[in-house]
Chain A
């Protein structure tokens, strides 16, 4: 026996499958949508379908793309010889904001995480190997997250995928936030920053 009308049940169930939304939130959103004007609900429905129809993943780097390739892959002014490997498209947005990187990207669409059933085969790692074989690349920067899963993914790519190629492989440094005071840094970050110190003369 269901507590609500069938269509409401279905919507709650669908919403509940989204990341970060539990049964209570799903219920709250469903009831909100039940109350709003038809136009507003339609706008949300349209936004979802239009996005699904027009946006997908870039054939080359698996970033978000409107069309076959993403804006960065299309841009002729970018440096073809450097690839920055990230876990998610949102990581590209973060690195782009720095303006410090002018090369290309490769999005793995996740990190190796056996607890979630994600092995190397579920990621765009094979595609990375194909790109490196086909394109003229001199450096790969591994920008996966500095946690266990990210480090393991970087180690997998470095030792299992990139070993046969004559290219530089680098890893993002971890250290202190700029503009902050030393005393506010957590011990782990400060410890890593000390290990990665650089000569000034």
Chain B
């Protein structure tokens, strides 16, 4: 889907705002603190119904207003689509082409976005949970049914942990046989989660290498290795081996909920040994790779939102990013302007009170 127009009412700092997007690159320019990220957030909201900043609904409604409206017009397969969101305290109403959706989750998939924000450095720098979430989000984007699998597995982990916590000091027969049954569920769902993660990572890997090389304009050895939290045996066998440890520690010490994706760059562990610049480039490479995988598989490239990414890259990499953008729409925000060679189709510039379309284009 291609977005052409966006209207905001009482959304965050905006009382009223109307914007047009280009078919390719749209740049949102203005100093810090004028609401560039708010604009990106509104576009993300149209796709996922969630703030990519993790903000609760209430905080997106302009102070003093009782609801916020985000409307967008676009086209898909040659047909016009109008998406309307009404955010009010405690509920979000969604309309597509003036038809109310019975379940707001029916909207998901109508518009897809990939977001890259400065926080994404955590993909490389932080602990394993961020990378698991990155893989799991991609799995669901490619196959929405997998959402149920992932939430079922998460629930089994919580149930198993609750059983381990409640187990008596000297573990009795009943606790053991109850654990047997949770282990069956844990192993069968866990193996499916594992399989889905391996599959998506295998498809992703060449795209990560390619995205990184394009950005750094050099050949690099980027390796992402899935590292399970147990050995070569089946998950069922591993759970059996670790049972006494789990009883002692009162928590599930292994399983897909403890796995990691280890990122290596030119033979070094990127989490601890890569420079800040390399880490940023790799994080961006991961996002772009996911974006391209979805575009390849779904056929329709998601809208790419690059929030304040240029200030974090050196001039060569910033230029390389904009020169090799994937096909489809991109919206980029910047406080410091664009690299000299870049010619966006649309520039939305802050004029001291609001965003105005550049007349020069």
Contacts and interface: CB of A to CB of B under 8 A. Distances in A.
Nearest to A121: B174
* Residue in B144, B166, B178 with the greatest tally of chain A CB atoms within 10 Å: B178
B193 to A, nearest CB: 14
B163 to A, nearest CB: 4
A107 to B, nearest CB: 20
Contacts of B159: 113-115, 148-149, 152
Given A148-B155, A148-B185, A159 B180 contact: yes
A36 B182 CA distance: 50
B268 interface: no
B132 interface: no
Nearest to B154: A148
B185 A112 contact: no
A146 to B, nearest CB: 11
A119 B165 CA distance: 13
Given A115-B162, A148-B159, A155 B145 contact: no
A53 B203 CA distance: 66
A119 B181 contact: no
A56 to B, nearest CB: 26
Interface residues of A, number: 19
A108 to B, nearest CB: 14
Nearest to B156: A148
A188 B159 CA distance: 23
A144 to B, nearest CB: 12
B217 interface: no
A160 B180 CA distance: 9
Nearest to A117: B166
Interface in B177-192: 177-178, 180-182, 184-185
A159 to B, nearest CB: 7
A22 interface: no
Contacts of A120: 174, 177-178
Nearest to A191: B145
A106 to B, nearest CB: 18
Nearest to A188: B148
A119 B152 contact: no
B160 interface: yes
A165 interface: no
A187 B166 CA distance: 36
Interface in A135-191: 148-149, 151-152, 155-156, 159-160, 187-188, 191
A159 B184 CA distance: 11
Given A114-B162, A114-B163, A148-B159, A159 B181 contact: yes
B227 interface: no
Interface in A55-103: none
A159 B183 CA distance: 13
* Residue in A114, A149, A191 with the greatest tally of chain B CB atoms within 10 Å: A114
Given A112-B178, A188-B145, A119 B163 contact: yes
Interface string B137-166: 000000011001000100110111011001
A152 B182 CA distance: 7
Interface of B: 144-145, 148, 152, 155-156, 158-160, 162-163, 166, 174-175, 177-178, 180-182, 184-185
Given A115-B162, A159-B181, 19 more contacts: A113-B159, A114-B159, A114-B160, A114-B178, A115-B158, A117-B166, A119-B174, A119-B178, A120-B174, A121-B174, A148-B152, A148-B185, A152-B159, A152-B182, A156-B177, A156-B178, A156-B181, A160-B177, A187-B145
26 contacts: A113-B159, A114-B159, A114-B160, A114-B162, A114-B163, A114-B178, A114-B182, A115-B158, A115-B159, A115-B162, A117-B162, A117-B166, A119-B163, A119-B175, A120-B174, A148-B156, A148-B185, A151-B185, A152-B159, A152-B182, A155-B184, A159-B180, A159-B181, A159-B184, A160-B180, A188-B145
**Interchain residue pairs A-B with the least CB separation, the first 4:** A114-B162, A114-B163, A156-B181, A114-B159
